[in-house]
Chains A and B, each alone.
Chain A
Amino acid sequence: MWGPPDMKRFLKPGWLLLTFYSLIFFSFIYLPLAVIIIYSFNSNPMDMTSWQSFTLDWYRGLFGLAEVGPSLGTSAIYVESTDQLLKALRNSLIVATTTTIISTTIGTATAIAMTRFRFRLRNAYQGLMMMPMMMPDIVLGIGLLIFFVTLGFKLSLLTIIIGHCTFLSSYVFIVVQARMAALDPALEEASADLGANEWVTFKKVLMPQLMPGIVGGAMLAFIISMDDLVITYFIAGTDSTTLPMFIFSMLRRGVKPEINAIATLIILASLIIAVIGLYLRTRQVE
C-alpha cells in the first residue's frame, strides 16, 4: 500500500527542526526518570551520581533481603525502614483503593445527574464541584485539618480517605461528564422505548457506554490519591504514614540509593496500571 518513504521530505529544514525539537522535548520529560532507574542499580553507596557497578542490593534491601552496607547511617536504620516502607505502601494502597471506589461512585452519579437533569442552582452546583480542583492543596489541607479537629475526629487513615474523596470526586466528575456529554441522549430513550426501566437502562446501556470515562476517572483518582503528599501531610495521624510521606521523610535524612529503587518500583507500578487502563479502554470503545 505504501511506497518507499520519500526521503527528501524528511531532509527539509522544517522536518529536521521538528525532529530535533521532539527529541529535546521527550528527553526533558523522560531523562529524569531514566536517571532514577539507572542509578537504582548503581552500587556506589556514598555518591549516587558516580557509577560504580551494577547491583540489586537496594531492591533487596527494601524488602529486608539484604543487609545494606553502611552508607551514611547504620544498617539498623534500613532494616527498620523496610517494615515502615511496607506499612506505608499498605496504607497508601488502602487509602487509594477506598478513595477510588467512593469518589468514582460519587463523581459518576453526579456527572449523570448534571447532564441529564435540569434543576435549580445547577450551575452553582457545577461550580461547587469544580472548586476543590482549583483550590491550592495547602489551603485544602489546612481546611480539612481544622474541620476534622473541630469535629473531634482522630486523625487516621479514615480522615485521609475522607479528605481525598472531597477533591477526587471532582476529578472523576470532570472525566465522566465529558464522556456523558458526548453521549447521544437518544440511547437512553431507545432503551426505555424497548421496555427497559431506568435501572436496567443504567446497567445495560449507560454504564457500558460510560465505562471508558469511568475507568479513566478511577485511574486518575487512584494515581492522584497514591501520589498526594501536601493534603495528606495535614490530615494523616501519627500511625497513618503513606508512601509519599515515607519517601519525603527519608529524603529529609539525606538522599539514599534506596529512594531510587522505590521510585523505580513506583514507575513500574504506574506503567502496569496505565497499560491495563489503556487495554480496558480500547476494549470498551468500539
Chain B
Amino acid sequence: MQPILEIRDAVRVFKTPEGGAVRALDGVNLDVDANEFVTLLGPSGCGKTTLLRAIAGFEDLDDGQVRVDGADLRRVPAFRRPVNTVFQSYALFSHMSVARNVAYALEVAGVGKDERTRRAGELLELVGLEGMETRKPSQLSGGQKQRVALARALISQPKILLLDEPLSALDRQLRQQMQVELKNLQDEVGVSFVFVTHDQEEALTMSDRIVVMCDGRIEQTGTPREIYRKPKSRFVANFIGETNMIKVTFDGKGTATSVEGIILKVSEAAPAGRATAVLRPSDLTLSDSKNAPAHAILGKVRQEIYLGAELHYLIEADAGGEYWRVTAKDEGVGFHTGQSVALSYDPDVIHLIEGDA
C-alpha cells in the first residue's frame, strides 16, 4: 500500500544572523502510512517543527519533496493542502464563537449555514464539548481550547493531522489524560497523525511509530519498544528514558570489559570489538552483596529516592566510573545509603551499540 505521506531528501537551510547557515533539515526521508500515529521526537532545534511546517506548507523546502497521496506538494500553498494543523498556541480566533471556530474551514469553503452548524455540533460532540457552541475561546480552559483546536482541524476531514506540541501548555495530569484521548480519537477518526514533541514519555504513550530527530537528521525510526529497547545510537538511548551506558570491549566469548574494569556477561552472539552497553534502570536487580549472584556488579548505594510506587537508587560501582541508576519496586525493604550491594541482570537484555561512538 502506498504511504499517505512521503518525504524525500528534505533539506531546509536557515541563515543565521552571524552570516552562517543552519541545516534545519538535512536530508530527511520519512513515510507515514494511512491511519498511523507517528511522533517526531527530538530536542529543540532538531528540525522536527520545521519538518511539520514544511508538510503544512508554512515553510518551503530548499530541496527534496513532500508528497501526500502520491501528489507532490511543491508550490501548493498551505490553504490548498489536504492537511490540517493543531498549533501549539491553539491559535483559536478570539473574535469568533466556538462553533464558528470549529466550522471555519467549512465557512471558508462556502458550505451552507445549516450544514456548518450540524457538522460543528458533531465535531464538538466528538471532542466532548457539547453545548459550548456559543462560548468565546476566552471563556474556555486550556484543555477545552485544545479540544476546540482539534475539532477545528478535523472538520474538513484532512488526510493527515499535524500536531505541533499541542499538549505542552497543559498541566501534567491533564496532559496525561489528553494523551490517551488523542490516541483514542485517532483510532476513531482514522486519520494519520503526525505529532511533534520533545517529551519522550508523550511519544512512548501515543505513537505507533517514533521518529527520533537530531540536528536536522533522523536518528532512528521504530516502534516505541524498538526505540526504547534497541536504540541505534547513544543519542537515542540517552534521549528516551533513563539509561545506564557503559563503553566496553568484547572478547567475542560472552564477556565485555569496561575501561574501569567492570566485567559484564553478555550474549555470546556479540562479536569481538568495542561497543556501548545499554542497560535500563529497571533491567537491574539489587541484592545484598553478601549473596551476590555470578557476574554481578558490586558497588555501594550512594543515594536513594523514594517515589511511592518505585524506588530509585544511584549506585557507585566499586570499580569506579559513572553511577548506575537502578529502579526497584517498593517492597517494604530498601537499601540504605552506604550499603554494599550487588547489581545483577539478564545478559540477554543488555543492548549493544556497536562502535566507538
Contact = CB atoms under 8 A, between A and B. Distances in A.
Interface of A: 184, 186-187, 189-197, 200, 204-205, 208-209, 284, 286
A208 B138 CA distance: 16
A193 B154 CA distance: 11
B207 interface: no
Contact of B95 (A190, A194, A195, A208): A208
B89 A184 contact: yes
A184 B91 contact: yes
A100 to B, nearest CB: 23
A197 B87 contact: no
Contacts, number: 72
Closest 10 CB pairs of A and B: A186-B91, A190-B91, A194-B105, A192-B78, A208-B95, A196-B108, A186-B87, A192-B79, A193-B85, A195-B108
27 contacts: A184-B89, A186-B87, A186-B91, A189-B58, A190-B92, A190-B93, A191-B93, A192-B57, A192-B78, A193-B57, A193-B79, A193-B84, A193-B153, A194-B152, A194-B156, A195-B79, A196-B79, A204-B93, A204-B107, A204-B108, A205-B93, A208-B93, A209-B94, A209-B95, A284-B95, A286-B136, A286-B138
B225 to A, nearest CB: 33
A189 B79 contact: no
Interface in B68-87: 77-81, 83-85, 87
B109 interface: yes
B104 interface: yes
Contacts of B56: 189, 193
Interface string B80-120: 11011101110111110000000011011100000000000
Given A190-B85, A286-B138, A197 B79 contact: yes
Interface in B156-181: 156
Interface in B50-72: 56-58
A196 B153 CA distance: 13
A195 B87 contact: no
Interface of B: 56-58, 77-81, 83-85, 87-89, 91-95, 104-105, 107-109, 136, 138, 152-153, 156
A286 B87 contact: no
Contacts of A196: 79, 104, 108
Interface centre among B78, B89, B92, B107 (most CB of A within 10 A): B78
Nearest to B82: A195
A208 B85 CA distance: 22
Contact of A286 (B58, B79, B94, B153): B94
A260 B30 CA distance: 77
B90 to A, nearest CB: 8
Contact of B104 (A191, A197, A284): A191
Given A195-B105, A286-B136, A286-B138, A189 B91 contact: yes
A190 B109 contact: no
A209 B96 CA distance: 10
Given A187-B91, A189-B91, 16 more contacts: A191-B104, A192-B57, A192-B78, A193-B56, A193-B79, A193-B83, A193-B153, A195-B109, A196-B108, A197-B77, A197-B79, A200-B108, A204-B107, A209-B94, A286-B95, A286-B138
B84 A186 contact: no
A190 B56 CA distance: 10
A215 to B, nearest CB: 13
Contacts of A187: 91, 93
B140 to A, nearest CB: 12
A184 B93 CA distance: 10
Contacts of A208: 93, 95
B77 A192 contact: yes
B169 to A, nearest CB: 13
A203 to B, nearest CB: 10
A99 B107 CA distance: 35
B87 A194 contact: no
A217 B85 CA distance: 34
Contacts of A200: 108
Nearest to B85: A193
Contacts of B77: 192, 197
A153 to B, nearest CB: 42
A205 B81 CA distance: 19
Contacts of B105: 194-195
Nearest to B81: A193
Contacts of B152: 190, 194
Nearest to A190: B91
B84 A194 contact: yes
Contacts of A204: 93, 104, 107-108
Contact of A189 (B87, B93, B138, B156): B87
